[in-house]
Amino acid sequence: MKLQVLVDNHTYIDAYYLGEPAVSFLIEEDGKKILLDTGYSDVLLRNAAQLELDLSKLTHIVFSHGHNDHTRGFQFLKENIDVSSMHLIAHPDCFLPRADDTDVFGAPFSAEEITELVRYQPSKSPVYLTEKLVFLGEIPRRNDFEASEPIGRRYKDGTWEKDYVIDDSALVYCGEDGLFLISGCAHSGICNMIAYAKEVCGDHRIVGAIGGFHLLDVGRQLTETIAYLKACNLKQLYPCHCVSLAAKAAMLAELPVTEVGVGLTLEMK
């Protein structure tokens, strides 16, 4: 499995890619080319061109969840390449309208519009994209220290309701040495995700994780998450996107953290 960071908040010194507060990872596994999230703007296309990556050969697009820093880049993607034969995997609630008192931040297209554009495959259950790469679907939320606060509201069945982003999911690679989790924002809780990945894949070894872990404040969630991750005995951890500097610093003191930036490439068996 090969993973390349195409969009992230961060760029490395002397590597002239563009950053934006968003996520997109390109994953190549067993002949499939999978894009997890599309970023917010055309930065995805511009970084892919700079990295000499051909996105027209994508087989799958996966949305970790519906927020527009993960889905809005799809507008630019579809205007520049033919996406009609690509599979799009997401939770069925991914395309609901979302807002708070000041902003709208849902995906800029409805499930109906998506169905017209790509081979849309909504799923709450796990979906195997290859023998070893799984979209987890809806993540059970069992820990009381994470995923407890709503983020604005979502419009479902004619009413606006508190949005706990239950569509938030992740990919997991079931490698030779154990599981590797790939998250977008981890609104479901990174520890909930790891626990569910172990259950779905039937493997209790977790070697690492990359993605937004939605750790912004220093407090109980961060403390409990670090304790959980330490107990997992991870070999590599790549917190990015929605992880604050303070949270990264706390993690760096206790976990095998590596700095993430656009262009980072990971390969594993």
Residue of this chain nearest to Zn ion (CB atom):
67
| Coil/strand/helix, residue 39 | coil
Q: How many residues bind Zn ion (CB under 5 A)?
A: 3
Where are the alpha helices (H) located in the chain, listed in sequence order?
43-50, 68-71, 73-80, 111-117, 190-201, 220-232, 245-252
Length of the chain as a residue count: 269
Rounded Cα gap, residues 44 and 203, in angstroms: 33
Residue whose CB is less far from Zn ion, 67 or 72? 67
Mark 30-69 with x for binding to Zn ion (rule: CB under 5 A) and - for no binding. -------------------------------------x-x
Residue whose CB is less far from Zn ion, 129 or 185? 185
Closest CA relative to residue 70, chosen from 211, 239, 261? 211
Residue whose CB is less far from Zn ion, 42 or 69? 69
- Which pair of tokens denotes residue 129? 């994209």
8 part of the interface to Zn ion, by CB under 5 A? no
Q: How far is the CB of 28 from Zn ion (least distance, A)?
A: 23
User: What are the DSSP E strand ranges found in 132-183?
Assistant: 133-135, 153-156, 159-162, 170-175, 178-183
Closest CA relative to residue 176, chosen from 54, 269, 56, 45? 269
Q: How far is the CB of 132 from Zn ion (least distance, A)?
A: 26
Closest CA relative to residue 91, chosen from 76, 75, 71? 71
Of these, 58, 129, 185, 243, which contacts Zn ion (CB under 5 A)? 185
Q: How far is the CB of 150 from Zn ion (least distance, A)?
A: 12
Q: How far is the CB of 50 from Zn ion (least distance, A)?
A: 22
Residue whose CB is less far from Zn ion, 69 or 146? 69
Q: How far is the CB of 233 from Zn ion (least distance, A)?
A: 27
Binding site for Zn ion (CB under 5 A): 67, 69, 185
